[in-house]
């Protein structure tokens, strides 16, 4: 299994679509979300070559092939102070910085690199972004020369420490569900297709906040997967991710504020673009979070994707790749095809 080892003997497993036929290509590093690991990007990897893209997807720590947390790190996740938890997320961000820099060198990647976080992986992406000044000047210089684009893919309110609006549903907070039913309910909830109201209003009352999805477009993504596809994309190794989401609200709020307002960090990355993409048929936690960031920042590019749910890179890999290559080659996503909505 391909992997890279960084500080303190921490190892990250990764998948790699390999170099395309031409020497000048774009590489996109992906950071996955809760439960669904690097395998969820496999459909993107399968079609990457035809677009002169290279797809590299990490498994975050505690997921297959990557290092688990240490006993002390697990203590911090469970019961640590604010300062300990802030230091923890900064250290995890630094490790990802070093992993990206290490692979840029080891694989001799062209200087056209993007880093994308999906779902909970957007919190990891912000940790990486905010930790650039924790690495050496040489690492910073190499990354400034190579990394040109950062992409938040369907981020969620939990990645930014945002409060839940009244009536906002989450199966992990549903006391009517037994423990063993929460994870399947979460997967269905997160992968459903929702028919919201007028999203151009940016009004929370236009969001479908309840537990039920809308199946006018398609069935929930997880219900279209074969047992083998489920096994190859999801892992039960997400206990500490769940605790992280429960315990790190104030830390992630502070991290988001650093990301939004710390000009020194932006300068340390050099010239780059930051994008936030979200599906218009995604669950409410992603749309609401994207609206929040759009309200707070005029330095992020935003794009809402008609007909896309939270798992658009699985359900619509071709359209997703077209959009990503447009973004990474400075076309600002203007040439991308959008999905044709069908009922499965």
Look at residue 215 in the predicted model and tell me its pLDDT.
56
What mean pLDDT, rounded, does the chain reach? 93
Residue 331 has pLDDT above 70, yes or no: no
E-state strands within 32-68: 53-58
DSSP tag of 234: B
Look at residue 333 in the predicted model and tell me its pLDDT.
58
Confidence of residue 258 (pLDDT cuts 50, 70, 90): very high
Contacts of 201 by beta carbon, 8 Å cutoff, 6+ apart: none
Confidence of residue 217 (pLDDT cuts 50, 70, 90): low
Over residues 298-317, the pLDDT tens digits come to 999 999 999 999 999 999 99
Summarize the confidence of residues 138-165 as an average pLDDT. 97
Confidence of residue 326 (pLDDT cuts 50, 70, 90): very high
Residue 342 has pLDDT above 90, yes or no: no
Higher pLDDT, 216 or 84: 84
Residue 264 CB-density burial (10 A; 0-12 exposed, 13-18 middle, 19+ buried): exposed
Look at residue 220 in the predicted model and tell me its pLDDT.
94
Confidence of residue 238 (pLDDT cuts 50, 70, 90): confident
What's phi and psi for 55, nearest 5 deg?
A: -110, 120
What's the token pair of residue 233?
Answer: 């994309």
What's the token pair of residue 185?
Answer: 């309910």
pTM above 0.85, yes or no: yes
153, 118 in Cβ contact below 8 A?
Answer: yes
Residue 340 has pLDDT above 50, yes or no: no
Lowest mean pLDDT across 106-110, 214-218, 242-246, 313-317: 214-218
Query: What residues form DSSP beta bridges with 58?
Result: 14, 31
In angstroms, the CA 86 to CA 344 distance is 44
**Token pair 């300990």: residue:** 84
Look at residue 341 in the predicted model and tell me its pLDDT.
46
Instruction: Give the CA distances from residue 334 to residues 29, 94, 294, 330, 339, in Å, rounded to whole numbers and listed in that order.
Output: 22, 33, 19, 10, 15
Summarize the confidence of residues 161-170 as an average pLDDT. 95
Task: Return the percentage of the chain with pLDDT > 90, whole number.
Answer: 87
Look at residue 211 in the predicted model and tell me its pLDDT.
74
255, 265 in Cβ contact below 8 A?
Answer: no
Long-range contacts of 83-87 (CB under 8 A, 24+ apart): 85/247, 85/248, 85/251, 86/251, 86/254, 86/255
Contacts of 339 by beta carbon, 8 Å cutoff, 6+ apart: 306, 307, 308, 312, 315, 316, 319
Lowest mean pLDDT across 193-207, 235-249, 270-284: 235-249
């Amino acid at each position: 299994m391909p992997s890279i080892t960084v500080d303190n003997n921490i190892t990250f497993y990764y998948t790699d679509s390999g170099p395309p036929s031409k020497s000048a290509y774009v590489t996109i590093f992906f950071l996955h979300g809760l439960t669904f690991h690097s395998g969820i990007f496999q459909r993107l990897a399968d079609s990457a070559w035809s677009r002169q893209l290279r797809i590299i997807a990490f498994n975050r720590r505690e997921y297959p092939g990557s290092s688990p947390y240490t006993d002390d790190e697990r203590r911090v996740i469970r019961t640590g102070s604010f300062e300990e938890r802030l230091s923890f997320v900064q250290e995890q961000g630094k490790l990802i910085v070093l992993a990206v820099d290490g692979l840029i060198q080891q694989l001799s990647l062209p200087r056209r690199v993007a880093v994308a976080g999906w779902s909970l992986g957007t919190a990891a992406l912000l940790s990486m972004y905010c930790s650039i000044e924790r690495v050496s000047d040489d690492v910073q210089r190499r990354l400034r020369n190579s990394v040109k684009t950062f992409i938040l893919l369907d981020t969620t309110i939990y990645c930014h420490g945002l409060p839940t609006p009244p009536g906002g549903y989450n199966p992990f907070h549903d006391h009517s569900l037994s423990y063993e039913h929460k994870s399947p309910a979460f997967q269905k909830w997160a992968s459903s297709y929702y028919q919201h109201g007028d999203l151009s209003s940016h009004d929370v009352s236009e969001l479908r906040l309840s537990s039920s999805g809308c199946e006018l477009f398609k069935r929930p993504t997880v219900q279209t997967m074969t047992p083998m596809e489920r096994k190859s994309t999801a892992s039960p190794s997400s206990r500490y991710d769940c605790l992280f989401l429960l315990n790190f609200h104030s830390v992630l709020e502070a991290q988001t504020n650093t990301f939004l307002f710390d000009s020194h960090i932006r300068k340390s990355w050099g010239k780059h673009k930051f994008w936030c993409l979200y599906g218009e048929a995604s669950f409410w936690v992603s749309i609401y979070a994207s609206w929040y960031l759009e309200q707070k920042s005029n330095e992020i590019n935003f794009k809402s994707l008609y007909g896309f749910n939270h798992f658009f890179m699985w359900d619509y890999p071709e359209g997703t790749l077209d959009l990503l290559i447009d973004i990474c080659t400075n076309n600002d996503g203007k040439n991308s095809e959008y999905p044709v909505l069908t009922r499965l």
